[in-house]
Amino acid sequence: MDQVIIFDTTLRDGEQSPGASMNAAEKLRLAVQLERLGVDVIEAGFPAASPGDLEAVRLIAGKIRNAQVAALARASKDDIDKAWAAIRDAAHPRIHTFIATSDIHLEHKLKMTRPQVLDAAAGAVRYAKTLAENVEFSAEDGSRSDPDFLCRVFQAAIEEGATTVNLPDTVGYAVPEEFGNLVSYVLKHTPGIHKAILSIHCHNDLGLATANSLAGLKAGARQVEVTINGIGERAGNTSLEEVVMTLYTRRDRVGLSSRINTKEIHPASRLVSMITGIMVQPNKAVVGANAFAHEAGIHQDGVLKNRMTYEIMEPETVGLAKNSLVLGKHSGRHAFKNKLGELGYELSDKDLNRVFERFKELADKKKEILDEDIEVLIAEEILRVPDHYELDYLNVVSGTVAVPTATVKLRIDGVEAQGAGFGVGPIDATFNTIAKMTHTRSKLVRFSINAISGGTDAQGEVTVRLQENGLVALGKGADPDIFIASAKAYVNGLNRLEYLKKNPSLSAEERAL
Ligand code: KIV
Ligand code: ZN
């Protein structure tokens, strides 16, 4: 088989990135984009982690029709029941159960012997098979496990009916040749392996996740587990775009393909950074802002003469439209609705009216409205958590001689409140004033600002990370005025903190795998 199964775990392992938690509406939107991208399997979450996670997976399972929807479960009946409850209505459900197989995990974490782990793995797959036909088994920390024990566990899982067995490099410790050899070893020494698909799942602690995944595929694995932008636990997971574009660009050498619609890579990447607030590093392969930028004169000259002198991929292939200019202030509701459809959004009439109103306001300030601007409007209007605080008005005074001052009008649960305050700069003054008015004590642990598109009239997109009593929330806001964008991001962060207080999920420790 020359086709590689792309298993996307942005919504599960990706969501385990520090500070990357997403609400249910955001997860659903991302799942829709993953389906447009053409991934074969969407790992939608870990339902046993919290009732909120279960509900989000259930929503995704109800919506996605083409891709398989997987839910993660430890090797326990309770976890597997929750996973099944979440995905039973999916068109193509998959239960993904796992247990660690390395001695270090057995001794220190699980406090189990090898025979006990073997039994637990077989028992978990046996039970999962009573519920679903499609069952994946993962040997956590597989790359640091005794290869013969690993094969023995995979054999047992396959005998119980596992349709996929997954070999993770959980801590990103392997190097490519070693990992490729391990995959070959498993293929050679696991009785019955031909009855299942062998999958690989790499982490990027040494920056080798893509190289290890390609080595695994070359050795015969046929499913690769990846995330958009490579987000994930610690240094992240193998990045979907890197693997897919290597298969595409170097098909002459690798000889494998995927079903991914590469033109949806950029929209997916933008959506993930917008939702999680995790910006892509500018020099990131395939999706970084500089991935197709040629700075040196000699390179520019070459590209002008023939793109292929310095470009191995065409930006259009990964969905970077040369000119994604869309609408302006004269565009009507119909054109706007069509554009939303092209971007993959189906909104109710009520939501459409809300977003259209915001679009008109923006079009009054900004001449050209790009796809990126519309995506941000949707994120602000549709994907947000319920608002406890709303920003009504902001006026800032700053300059070389003025004391930075902010006057703010908020609505707190619908009731108007007004305040004013000072700070060392206009943003400090704004945040101090809002904190005073809302009686909140969150600490600002991150502030970043990004221009959504080129030009001096570009919208500024601000991301803040707020921390209060152990809870961490991201806030996002966009506006052509960066002070307003900052205030919106701060208010959005406070709303998310409120939401977290009202919907406590499991602690980070319980969520950790
Ligand atoms: O890294 C890992 O081992 C995992 C498994 C649960 C597949 O994420
Ligand atoms: Zn992982």
What would the pLDDT profile of 274-324 be if each residue is shown by its tens digit? 888 888 988 999 999 889 887 777 877 887 888 888 889 999 999 986 545
Which residue CA neighbors atom 1 of ligand 1 most closely?
Answer: 170
Q: Are 136 and 225 in contact (CB under 8 A)?
A: no
Which tens digit of pLDDT belongs to each residue from 97-135? 999 999 999 999 999 999 999 999 999 999 999 999 999
Ligand 1: which residue has its CA nearest to atom 5?
140
Q: Which of 318, 278, 229 is nearest to 8 (CA)?
A: 229
Residues 398 and 376 in one domain: no
- How far apart (Å, rounded) are the C-alpha atoms in residues 344 and 28? 12
The atom number, within ligand 1, closest to the CA of 98 reads: 6
Element (H or E) spanning 16, and its range? none
Query: Which of 276, 309, 344 is where one domain is finished?
Result: 276
Buried b (16+ CB within 10 A) or exposed e, 183-193: bbebeeebeeb
Same domain as 234, residue 106: yes
The confidence band for 341, taking pLDDT boundaries of 50, 70 and 90, is confident
The reply to whether 281 falls in a domain is: no
Does ligand 1 lie within 6 Å of residue 97's CB atom?
Answer: no
Domain that holds residue 497: 389-511
Using CA positions, which residue lies closest to atom 2 of ligand 1?
170
String of DSSP letters for 147-159: HHHHHHHHHHHHH
Q: Are residues 141 and 235 in the same domain?
A: yes
Is the C-beta atom of 168 inside 6 A of ligand 1? Answer: yes
Q: Give the Cα separation of 228 and 234 in Å (integer).
A: 15
Ligand 1 near 170 CB (within 6 A): yes
Q: Do 428 and 485 sit in the same domain of this protein?
A: yes
Tell whether 359 and 507 lie within a shared domain.
Answer: no
pLDDT number for residue 372: 79
| Residue 330: Cβ-neighbour burial (10 angstroms; 0-12, 13-18, 19+) | exposed
Closest ligand to Cα 71 = 1
In a domain, 325, yes or no: no
Whether residues 252 and 172 share a domain: the answer is yes
Mutate to test the pocket of ligand 1, among 79, 96, 99, 138 (most ligand atoms within 8 A of CB): 138
Same domain, 68 and 135: yes
Which 8-state DSSP code applies to residue 451? E
Task: Give how many domains the chain has, as a whole number.
Answer: 4
Q: What is the pLDDT of residue 61?
A: 98
In a domain, 368, yes or no: yes
Alpha carbon distance 32, 197 (integer Å): 25
Exposed, middle or buried, 441 (CB in 10 Å: 0-12/13-18/19+)? exposed
pLDDT score for 498: 87
Residue 324 inside a domain? The answer is no
Q: Tell me, what CATH number does 488's domain have? A: 3.30.160.270
Same domain, 304 and 402: no
Shared domain for 458 and 402, answered yes or no, is: yes
Across 356-501, where does the E strand assignment appear? 369-370, 389-397, 405-412, 415-422, 443-451, 460-468, 471-479
Q: Are 179 and 202 in contact (CB under 8 A)?
A: yes
* Selection from 251, 260, 7 nearest residue 136 by Cα: 7
- Please check the confidence at residue 456 and state whether its pLDDT lies above 80: no
Cα-Cα end-to-end distance for the chain:
32
pLDDT score of 465: 87
31/35 Cα distance (integer angstroms) = 6
- Going by C-beta distance under 8 Å and a sequence separation of 6 or more, which residues neighbour residue 191? 155
Tokens of 217: 């595929």
**Ligand 1 contact via 201 beta carbon (within 6 Å):** yes
> Which numbered atom of ligand 1 lies nearest the CA of 9?
8
- For residue 64, report the phi and psi dihedrals to the nearest 5 degrees: -80, 130
Q: Choose among 168, 71, 74, 84: nearest CA to 117.
A: 74
Residues 295 and 339 in one domain: no
- Judged by its nearest atom, the ligand closest to the C-alpha of residue 513 is 1
Instruction: Using the atom order of ligand 1, give the atom closest to the CA of residue 166.
Output: 7
CA pair distance 484, 477, nearest whole angstrom: 8
- For 12-33, how does the pLDDT look when each residue is reduced to its tens digit (9 = 90+)? 999 988 767 788 888 999 999 9
Give the mean pLDDT of 46-61. Answer: 95
Query: Does residue 356 belong to any structural domain of this protein?
Result: yes
pTM assigned to the model: 0.84
- Give the model's pLDDT for residue 505: 52
Tokens of 404: 């930075």
Instruction: Say if ligand 1 is within 6 A of residue 74 CB.
Output: no
Task: State the ligand closest to the CA atom of 237.
Answer: 2
Q: Tell me the C-alpha to C-alpha distance, in Å, between residue 341 and each of 70, 162, 329, 334, 345.
A: 27, 39, 19, 11, 5
Task: Evaluate whether residue 265 is within a structural domain.
Answer: yes
Q: How confident is the model over 409-434, as a mean pLDDT? A: 96
Report the nearest-CA residue for atom 8 of ligand 1.
13
- Does residue 353 sit within a domain? yes
Sign of CA dihedral 136, 235, 216, 319: positive
Residue 478 and residue 377 share a domain: no
Rounded Cα distance, 373 and 458, in Å: 9
Q: In the predicted model, is pLDDT for residue 406 greater than 70? A: yes
397: which residues sit within 8 A by CB, 6+ positions away?
403, 404, 405, 406, 426
Q: Which band of pLDDT confidence, cut at 50, 70 and 90, is reported for residue 512? A: very low
Residue 216's identity, in one-letter code, is G
Q: Which residues contact 111 (CB under 8 A, 6 or more apart)?
A: none
Note whether residue 429 is domain-resident. Answer: yes
Pair of tokens at residue 308: 């292929």
Q: Same structural domain for residues 114 and 229?
A: yes
Residue nearest to atom 7 of ligand 1 (CA): 138
Residue of 256 and 332 predicted with greater confidence = 256
Per-residue pLDDT at 513: 31
* Alpha-carbon separation of residue 103 from 44, 119, 142, 476 (angstroms): 29, 16, 10, 43
The answer to whether the beta carbons of residues 210 and 247 sit under 8 Å apart is no
Provide the token pair at 490. 């701060």
What pLDDT, in 10s, does the model give residues 135-182? 999 999 999 999 999 999 999 999 999 999 999 999 999 999 999 999
The pLDDT value recorded for residue 438 is: 96
Helix or strand run (H / E) with residue 137: strand 135-140
- What is the 3-state secondary structure of 19-52? CCCCCHHHHHHHHHHHHHHCCCEEEEECHHHCHH
Q: Please state, for a pLDDT cut of 90, what percent of the chain lies above it.
A: 68
Q: Does residue 508 surpass a pLDDT of 60?
A: no
pLDDT tens profile 195-234: 999 999 999 999 999 999 999 999 999 999 999 999 999 9
Residue 319 Rama label (left phi>0; alpha psi -120 to 50; beta): left
Q: Is the CB of 9 under 6 A from ligand 1?
A: no
CATH number for the domain that contains residue 210: 3.20.20.70
